[in-house]
Structures are given as C-alpha cells and as structure tokens.
A and B are shown apart, each in its own frame.
Chain A
Amino acid sequence: MERLDVSYDKILHAYPNEEGSLIPLLQKMQATKRYISPEMVEAVADYLGITESQVYGVASFYSQFRFTEPGKHSISVCLGTACHVNGGETLLETFERDLNIKPGECTPDKKFDLNRVACIGCCALAPVVKVDNDVHSKVNVIKLKEIWTSYE
C-alpha cells in the first residue's frame, strides 16, 4: 500500500486541460487499476481546475466507472425492468447476504465484487446474473450459491 504519491502526470498531460477531457481521462485512469480511486479523482480535479466533487458527480453518473477495487470475479445482478419484475432485487439481496457486501463493494478476500446493472439485453432470460463474461439465465435463489461457488 506504500505507493502513496504515485504520479498521474503522464496520463493527465496526454489530454488538454479542458472540460471535454474529463470522461476520457477517467476512462484512462480506470484502465490502470480497473477502478477509480480517490487519489485519481483528486489528480483529475487538480489538473482540470475543478473540484473533486464535480469530478465524482460526473463519474458516478456513468455506470462504466467504479470506485472500489474490483474482486477477481465480478458479479453483476440485472435490475432492468424485466429482471426486476422477475425477482432481480431478491437475487441482489441474497448476494448481499451471502457475500456480506453491498453493491459496489468487494469481499475482504478480494474474490468477488458485486454490482447492480440495468438491462444487459437478454430480457427473455430474466432474471439474469452476469459473472465476469458469463451470463447466467433464469436464476433463482437456490441456483445462486451454485453459481458463485463455482468460481471460487
């Protein structure tokens, strides 16, 4: 953890100091660690002359950005309309209970992170759960444990 003052200068200076650089910068930043850390937000804010809260406000609006360290496997529970009415919320809650983490967080052993997503385009298979790139369809609470234990 002792990488305290890592410099983001190289990434920053590749982009002009203007409003339009915000999103591409965030994307580049995220690419280095798979998530956006508070230090990155600070660096981007300083570089663009805006506040951290402005950076975070924009970044957190887009689901492509995450702000916590991702686990080895990413679990995404769909809460789009079709999945929602078919019990997506219950699936998410079960995950939260089983893994003891909240959406956006990562298990202490860094194995799994949990996310909620809106519609991943396979509504016919609702409710769906995505683990990394595998889509699991018509999931129910009983199937859940099977799914995540298979990735352990």
Chain B
Amino acid sequence: MKITIDNKKIKIDKPATVLDVAAQNDIYIPSLCAHPELVPYGGCRLCIVEIEGRRGYPTACTTHVEDGMVVRTDTKILKEMRTELTQLILSEHPSACMMCDDVEGCSVFQGTIRKVGITTGCRWCPKDKDCEFQRIVESLGIHDLTLPGLYRDIPIEKYDPFFDRDYNLCIYCGRCVRICNEYRKSSVLSLKQRGKFTTIGPAFEATHIDANCEFCGACVSVCPTGAMSEKSRKWWGVPEKYEASTCPLCSLNCDIQVLTLKDKIVGTLPPGVPHEAGGELCVKGRFCLSELVNRTTRILEPQFKYKEGYGFVSWEVANEKAVEIVKEVKPGRSAMLLSPSLNLEEIHFAKQFAEKALHTELISSSCINENLLAYMEMASHSVSLNDLKKAGCLLSIFLDGNYKYAPVTMLIKDLASKVIPYCQIGWTKDTTTRFATHFYVPKSGDVEGFLDKILFNLKKEKAKTKQPIITETLAETKNSAMIIGPEIMSLTNCISILDKLKQVAKQSHSMIYMPNPYGNLDGLLALVDVVPFDEIRKKIDKKEIDLLYLVGDSAFKKNPGVMKIIYQNAFPAPEDLQPDLILPTALWGESNGRYLNTDKKIKKSYSVGDRHGYSLPHRQVFLDLAKSLKVKLPKFSAKDLRKEFQLKLKPVPEKIKVPAPSKNYPFSLVQENAQHVYSSLNLSTGIEGFGDLVKADHILLHPSDARKQGFNNEEWAILGSSKTEKKFRVLIRKNIPKGIVLLTSSNGQLEFESNPCPVKIRRDHV
C-alpha cells in the first residue's frame, strides 16, 4: 500500500490508522483521546484531516489507511477548526498555566501572586509542564481565550488512597475509562450522566475501594491532563529520568521504570512511554515502591548500644564493634536471618559471611516454616506465565486479589473474556470474579472435603451423573491450568490441602502456577540451605545461640534471649528488640541487584537513586566486615544458583479437624497473614495507602452481614469462636461474600485456633 501524507510518499505493509502512520513518519497530528493500547474513540476530534475524495474532515485516529490515499494534516481550515475545538475545551478547562502573562518568565523568575515571602510560581496543576493538553494548546499557538471561561467547581476527590482526582481539569477524553475497561478489564470507571453534567467514576458516589478498583494506576498514567495525580509526587514536578528496573515486591518481579528527580526516586511506572504506559503493575509496584524508599523513618546512621544508651557512630567504629561482637561468639553459636526480599548478591554475601566469618550454617528467614516449604516445593513445578497463556481452562485457588500478582489476574481476565472457562475458589470477589463461570466460597471445614469431591469425580470413569462444574471444566478441557495463591499457607492443614491439589493437578493433567509474595524467596532457596525458623527459635530457647545477625528481617519483637544482636536493615527495629549494633543499609533502587522470579528467570534491578544518609548496600557492609575480620568472600556468580534443590519436607502432619459453621457460630472466619512485607516493613502498617486497602487487624464483612448486626465502619466487634474471643474493628466491604469474615492480622500470626474457623460476631457494648 502506498499513501501520501502532506506530500510525503509512504509505503505501508500492514493495516493501520492514518494517525499511526503519520506518527511513525514523524508527521504530527494533534490528538488527545487516541492511545496505542486502546480502541480508537474519535472523541476529541482534534486529529481531523483532509482526505482527497472524501467529504468532510475525518478523524485520523479512526480512519484506516487505504491504498492511494492522499491525506493533508495541516491546512488552514484544519488549523482553524482545531483551534476552535481547543477553545471550546479551554472554556471549561482552567488555563492559568497557559494563558498567564508571565508564562514565559515564570520558571525563570518564579514570581508569585500569593502574599508570601517566597517565590515559587503559582503551582496549582500537578501536571504542569507534563501535560498533553498544554502541548496541544502550544502547538496551535493559542495565547488567548475567545470564549468565556467556566469553572465547574467539582469537589476534588481525595478520599481514596494513592491518587487524587480533580475532574475540573478533565477534558473527557475517556482514556481512563477505556484503559480500565479495555486493558485492565476492571471497568471501575464510567462516564456518568451526560452533557455538561458528565462526571467520571464508579456507580453512584461509591469510593474506588468499594468499586473493586485495583489501584493499578493505569487511569492515572494515561490521563493527558492533571485530572488524576499521584498523591506522593503530586507537587514534585516533572521527573528527569525514567530508568528500567525490576520490582522487588513479589515473586513475579515485574519490569518497571523508575522515575527520578535530582537522583531521588519519586515514582514507578510500567515500561513504556510515560503517558502511554498502561497498567501492567499491581498497586505495590505502581505506588508503594517510591513510598517505601522515601519513608522518613529510615535508619540513616550506624548506631551502637553503649551502656548509657544508643549512640550514633561512624562506619569505622561500627565495623570495630561488629568485629568485637563476632570474635566474642564461638563458632556455630550464631544464627543469621535473611529477608526474602534481598537480592541475589546480597543473599550470596550474607551466606558467605555466615559461613566464613560466623562459622554457622544456621540461616533462615522468619517466613520459613513447614507450610511455606511445602508450598515452595510444589511451586518448583510451576509453569511460566507465558505457558499459562496457552491454558484451555483456568482454575484459581485462593488467589484472592486485587492488590497483587497483576500480570496473573490480567491474564485470567484476558483469557476468560475470550470464552475460556474460568472457575474461582476463594474468599474475596476480585476483578476476575465476574469472568468466572463458577465462584466457589468454601465455608469453614469445607476446603478439604471440597477438594476430595473434585478428586473423587475426576477419578471416576466417565461418570454418568452430572459432574460438578469445576471437575467438568478441569476434566474436559485440554491444557487446564491451576493458579494457586499463597494465602493457602495460612490455612489449617495446608500441607494436606496442597497434597490434594497436587493430586487434582495430576489427575486432570493441569499445569500449575504458584506465585509468592516475596521478592526473592526463590533466589534465597536456590542459594541457601535454609533451616525452618522454628528450629532457630528452639535453639535460642535451649541457649545454643549467642549472636543473632538480622539482615533485613526483624523476626522478633524483643530480644528472644541471645547475648548479642546485630541488626542490618533500612527500617528501624521493633522498639523492644534493642539490638547491640544497628547498621543502616540501602534499599532496592539504591544498589544493583538480581532476583530470581517464579518463572525461574533472573531479573535485574538497578541503582537509580541516591542512598539515604550514611546507609550502605548490604553487600558493601559484608565485604567491609569481612575485610576487618581478614576473611575473603568469593564473588557471586549466577552459576551458584542451584537448579535442583531438596527442600527438607516433613511427612504430611496429622490432620486437625476444622469445624463447620453452626447455629451458634454461623460465620466462617478466614485469616490472611499479612505477607506484604519488604525488608521487615509490613506494607499494611507501614504505607498508609496500602493499609487502607489491606487493612490490618480489622474484620471485613459483607454489607448485609454488617447491617444485620447493626455495624458501621470502624465500630468494635467481638469475634468469638468456641475457644477464643477477640476484639476487632469492623470494615464493611462489598467484595466479601456473605457469611465470610476476613481478618488480616498485622503480626503475621493466626489469632484463632483454626483457619478457617467458625465464629459469631457481636457488638462490643462499651
């Protein structure tokens, strides 16, 4: 195909729109609503062009090229019409950032009209200088308004976490609505009402949380104006650099780009052109990373516990003190705990240091227990995300999640919307639920029985009776896939449940996919022969441990009874832990590192931001200490990663009976252990916005269950099982099924005797 655009002859080999072809050939056509990921919309009409032989002014974004087409993009009349359209938008869009007399000198002289003694310029739009609409106005050379302006005066929406919405700046390009709908398939946003009363948002006046928003930030990324803005970097200005890296907040290790300004990490986005980079990430990778590294509580200087109390010390002194401590301890009487979010190099040097300097093989992490090892053993048979794309049917089990594993949930939605059968077993309605042909909510005592039933049916030769839908789906589709979520690790009888799932997978020839919430647990297991955390605890109780070396893992709330504790982390230790030596370290983004992900691929993350205070990368700390101790630590090589490794699994333990709900205890309590932890920082309690989403120490109820008991949000409730009674605050969430009570406890421990557990709820009358 040959076409001509503005006298330029262009050859095209595959179908495309006029707008795309022009862009590929460096011909600028103004556009606002078009977006490469989205179906052409034709809403803003700025991309109008003239095409020989066609009447009127077709929009370039919706017109496909045809052989011999002659297109003109820049005639006088087109420019006039575009100017007119832009003037119309400007009549409702605040324009102080463009029409001010001082616009030119503003950034140089920073004048202000406020009565304050500072000169900062007037900053009232968070996207100033990073706004697509500004660029359009500029390219059309508009310097004055021709129509009277109207300020819509819509209240700014600030009550949801992570991003603010000021629809006074909205130009109704619909990109946010479309990316949420077409790309994320979450459909949280709609254009509501019509004409000049049009607004954007969820049904009625629902909050985004209630509308099942994933806080993936796709809508925020693609908004061409300042209508949507990230709370954490709202007024920080345009980032200077966008650098590729990897997210360390779960085992998927998604590709990301890190935004920096004056070498400070200010935000993260999925890869791609900033205003086009859609939403491949989950809320953790999109919004939590920059908040994590910029936490004001970070440890900035080494500290030593003198008799009189803590004192800041230099690294030299810190090193001396560390050497003293290490020399004091007999070989084999120390233990090291590592965070599963450390990168491969850090784990390697920690391990080498433990072996060569501490002479110990007791390396663990506070997350490592029997259940986790069983889970990880099964997960070692995980297929890759790419293989999952070939699935003929999908079953997700306890994936429960709007706020995690975004590539997985997006894949589910994508496949399921292409009529691939999808069944879901779990305790929260997430954005995949509406694509499920079957959504099963196990009650307390149900989980194993239900799996038994599936197994039984699968084993039956061509049963005549009608098969339950899940069995049918698994048995009758080729390439079935089971996606198992790590929430399973906190269930009673986890190991035997996993065992059943294994059998189901085997019987139905399903592939399995099992992500985990730790950035580099796979790497930790591939490098270190870990011992379960409990073993270390027992040794401490038997007084066999003198030194506890904590690397990014706080593990204990107070000193468990060891002589010395070295605490090497970026975030402060629990108050009562009272380590003897505190060594501040760099975090993700402040040193280079590699991670091993669920796909068994090595992913790289880079140092892009300045280190905070006097912190040093873990690796450096170990190397310096080793030097003072006169031991040599070998370099890291990816060859050290064991492909095959044996996890020390115990036989399936005896089963505990999980009772079913009864008249007295009608609800099924499900406890999720807060596993969103990064370098000992629990995201639920450490990051305010994430805490709003995954609220720690609250019980989540369906609105009708809450109403029956007369509960409002944040009221105290007493949750009682036949053995335990505890007090929690109530949170009403529409995505909790009826009859289910969901609890995320911040200490990572189960609060009730079994999980799930039948409970009753009553009001606390104090």
Contact = CB atoms under 8 A, between A and B. Distances in A.
A53 B434 contact: no
Contact of B211 (A4, A5, A53, A61): A53
B27 interface: no
A79 to B, nearest CB: 10
B190 interface: yes
B206 A52 contact: yes
A57 B200 CA distance: 9
B201 A60 contact: no
A50 B187 contact: yes
B700 interface: no
Is chain A's binding surface mostly helix, strand, loop or mixed? helix
A131 interface: no
A114 to B, nearest CB: 14
Contact of A56 (B186, B204, B435, B708): B204
B193 A52 contact: no
Given A56-B190, A57-B191, A57-B192, A51 B434 contact: yes
B204 A38 contact: yes
A42 B734 CA distance: 10
Contact of A51 (B188, B201, B204, B707): B188
A41 interface: yes
Given A4-B704, A52-B202, A52-B203, A57 B434 contact: no
A55 B211 CA distance: 12
Interface in A39-72: 41-42, 45-46, 49-58, 60-61, 67
B203 A5 contact: no
A49 B413 CA distance: 12
A58 to B, nearest CB: 8
B203 A49 contact: no
A67 B206 CA distance: 14
Contact of A53 (B188, B193, B435, B707): B188
A17 to B, nearest CB: 12
A55 B190 CA distance: 9
Is chain B's binding surface mostly helix, strand, loop or mixed? loop
Interface in B695-718: 704, 707-708
B203 A56 contact: yes
A51 B202 CA distance: 9
Interface string A1-14: 00011000000000
Contacts of A45: 434
Contacts of B435: 49
Contact of A54 (B187, B193, B206): B187
A45 B212 CA distance: 13
B545 interface: no
Interface string B154-197: 00000000000000000000000000010000111111111000
A62 to B, nearest CB: 9
A61 B3 CA distance: 40
Interface in B465-511: none
Interface in B740-757: none
A4 B190 contact: no
Contacts of A50: 187, 434
A60 B188 contact: no
Interface of B: 181, 186-194, 201-204, 206, 211-212, 434-435, 704, 707-708, 734
Given A51-B434, A53-B201, 17 more contacts: A4-B704, A4-B707, A4-B708, A5-B704, A38-B203, A38-B204, A41-B204, A49-B434, A51-B203, A51-B211, A52-B211, A53-B211, A54-B190, A56-B204, A57-B191, A60-B192, A61-B193
18 contacts: A4-B708, A5-B704, A38-B204, A45-B434, A49-B435, A51-B187, A51-B212, A53-B188, A53-B190, A53-B202, A53-B206, A54-B187, A55-B203, A56-B192, A56-B204, A57-B190, A57-B192, A60-B192
Q: 9 smallest A-B Cβ distances: which pairs?
A: A57-B190, A56-B203, A52-B203, A51-B187, A53-B190, A53-B202, A53-B203, A60-B192, A49-B434
